[in-house]
Chains A and B, each alone.
Chain A
């Protein structure tokens, strides 16, 4: 599956209307978004599930996660249980 950072940026602008003025690139990290916090991560997780039908683990969606890293996960998702 091909995933572009532009697709993710569209979702971020939907969830975070306050970041409409921000330039979002592959290197943008989630902690840069206004109002980013752990519950915002839940919303982003939900958007990614709706848009790409892939369950992105909340553990990936932290302050330091870049848009590129989300794209990378969506291309090759890994099951958590395999890490246990």
Chain B
């Protein structure tokens, strides 16, 4: 009874993790005493350092009272950083050295300690952030007044989130998602966009991009400078993209199978018909990639294969090591999520957004607390953050199935453990060539987990490791100024990501040209471009269509 109440009141079990951590240390008093002594010693050392720093600066004479205040604040901030560093290091070691913790509990404890460490960073407090005080003094207090207004605006919006970007600077169809195209198919779940050719001749095999429906589709088509769609059409490819409907409670019964059959498979059918091509290049990003992989396992039962090859961007198929997201997704948290989703019919967009922000709190929470509230500045202008803030909802049936089957039970990684429309999914039957892209600093789909796909599928695999995060590793256009790098090489049936990486040499720049070089020999001799739409699938509306504009 008590346990049930505890789970209901604390679905993410932070106190439970703290209790487990404490209990682990209590079993070993001597180690705990030594650990606490270490904290004491480090604090003493920091105090000595602070004392010496203060003594050395006593002789300095500030030119004015205002400057004296700022200098004092800078010293206070410096001192706070010394203590914060000591405490942060100790808290991490307190978790890492705790005896006899289960790996899952240790991972959860490490996650929450990181949240605490980043929350209590001195820069997140007004009097220990010299830049905040300086702006306050120089603006006669207006910075903090503006910050107050920013805070009130966020509170009045009522979604529990702070603004990441200047929403007024971007408009879908105006300065993001602007590559010319037509919606050529629409059902209750998806719009399919066909992009207009930019070259006189195109490859006969089209590229179909399956978008993750956790955000809107235009991650594939941000600005003209960094649009993957634009890049592909400039290279002579016909490109089709899924633009999913943002579901409301009426769509609560939409399943993962619906997304697969009425979404991904329907889009492939549209592209094949318009381009008169028996096969397509299919590519999916994140959950869009997971959907595509499930579809490939499903199609493996058929004789005719409509997909020539598969590209998966930042996609997990083996969810046994899902990174920090695993801290939120346990059988108990799933039960709480299911209850919340049942009440609304959908998983709310702000809940998902907050979860993803907590995976990188310093960059997606605290930086904006300082900028928006302490500096009183508007949030930055960034098309990536604009897209990132344009979250969507997930329908109940699909959400519950996805979280349980993949994150909790990891069914995709075991042959025939996952069934979709009664067909068992065995990735070992998928023989098409695969192009896999992971990102070295990905907080959402760790590249080590995405690498496991290499041995899950039977087809030959080329793996790319981009040296960036989940979004910036993907939005990765070629540029003469590019300082990015990536590793690329054959990885068929490989399991050990470290061994694979040791054998690769890094390449400078974007991996997009490498992908095009991989696709081109599989794409046939160029032909005149297809019409925009066809008799079966006529053009319905100009891109970006209507679904992407729905709130």
- Given contacts A38-B468, A45-B382, whether A57 and B362 have CB atoms under 8 Å apart is no
Jot down 17 A-B pairs with beta carbons below 8 A, ordered by A: A17-B122, A35-B363, A37-B363, A38-B471, A39-B363, A40-B363, A43-B363, A46-B382, A55-B225, A59-B476, A59-B479, A60-B483, A61-B483, A62-B484, A64-B483, A80-B479, A84-B231
Choose the segment among B123-131, B201-209, B267-275, B406-414 that binds chain A (4+ C-beta atoms closer than 8 Å): B123-131
Chain A residue at minimal CB-CB distance from B509? A59
Chain A residue at minimal CB-CB distance from B368? A43
The residue that B480 contacts in the complex, of A42, A46, A78, with Cβ under 8 A, is A78
> Does chain A have a CB within 8 A of B21?
no
Q: Type the 1/0 row for A9-21, where 1 means its CB is closer than 8 Å to any CB of B.
A: 0000111011011
B226 — which chain A residues lie within 8 A by C-beta? 57-58, 80
Are B469 and A39 in touch, CB under 8 angstroms?
yes
How far apart sit A62 and B484, CA to CA, in the bound complex (Å)? 6
Closest A-B pairs by Cβ, 6 of them: A46-B380, A17-B123, A38-B469, A39-B363, A59-B482, A38-B472
Interface residues in B429-478 (C-beta closer than 8 Å to A)? 441, 467-469, 471-473, 475-478
- Smallest Cβ distance from B505 to chain A, in angstroms? 16
B363 — which chain A residues lie within 8 A by C-beta? 35, 37, 39-40, 43
A79 — which chain B residues lie within 8 A by C-beta? 225
Are B234 and A84 in touch, CB under 8 angstroms?
yes
Interface residues in A41-65 (C-beta closer than 8 Å to B)? 41-43, 45-47, 49-50, 55, 57-65
The residue that B481 contacts in the complex, of A35, A50, A60, with Cβ under 8 A, is A60
How far apart sit A60 and B338, CA to CA, in the bound complex (Å)? 43
Are A59 and B483 in touch, CB under 8 angstroms?
yes
Interface residues in B369-394 (C-beta closer than 8 Å to A)? 370-371, 375, 380-382, 384-385
Are B477 and A15 in touch, CB under 8 angstroms?
no
Q: Type the 1/0 row for B217-246, where 1 means its CB is closer than 8 Å to any CB of A.
A: 000000011100001001100000000000
Interface residues in B333-368 (C-beta closer than 8 Å to A)? 360, 362-364, 367
Among the interface residues A15, A43, A45, which one has the most CB atoms of the partner chain B within 10 A? A43
Interface residues in B495-543 (C-beta closer than 8 Å to A)? 509-510
- Smallest Cβ distance from B453 to chain A, in angstroms? 22
- Smallest Cβ distance from B232 to chain A, in angstroms? 10
- Range of interface residues on A (Cβ < 8 Å): 35 or more
B122 — which chain A residues lie within 8 A by C-beta? 17
A23 — which chain B residues lie within 8 A by C-beta? none
> Does chain A have a CB within 8 A of B77?
yes
Chain B residue at minimal CB-CB distance from A62? B483
- We find that the number of chain B residues with CB closer than 8 angstroms to chain A is 49
- Given contacts A38-B441, A38-B468, A42-B382, whether A17 and B478 have CB atoms under 8 Å apart is no
Chain B residue at minimal CB-CB distance from A39? B363
Are A81 and B131 in touch, CB under 8 angstroms?
no
How far apart sit A42 and B382, CA to CA, in the bound complex (Å)? 7
- Not counting A20-B131, A59-B476, a sample of 15 additional A-B residue pairs whose C-beta atoms are within 8 angstroms of each other reads A13-B131, A14-B375, A15-B367, A17-B370, A20-B74, A38-B472, A38-B473, A42-B384, A42-B385, A58-B472, A61-B483, A62-B485, A80-B479, A81-B225, A83-B477
- Smallest Cβ distance from B408 to chain A, in angstroms? 28
How far apart sit A43 and B468, CA to CA, in the bound complex (Å)? 15
Are A59 and B510 in touch, CB under 8 angstroms?
yes
A47 — which chain B residues lie within 8 A by C-beta? 380
> Does chain A have a CB within 8 A of B121?
yes
- Given contacts A42-B384, A57-B225, whether A17 and B78 have CB atoms under 8 Å apart is no
- Given contacts A20-B77, A59-B477, A81-B224, whether A35 and B362 have CB atoms under 8 Å apart is yes
B510 — which chain A residues lie within 8 A by C-beta? 59
How far apart sit A11 and B325, CA to CA, in the bound complex (Å)? 32
> Does chain A have a CB within 8 A of B493?
no
Are A80 and B123 in touch, CB under 8 angstroms?
no
- Smallest Cβ distance from A51 to chain B, in angstroms? 12
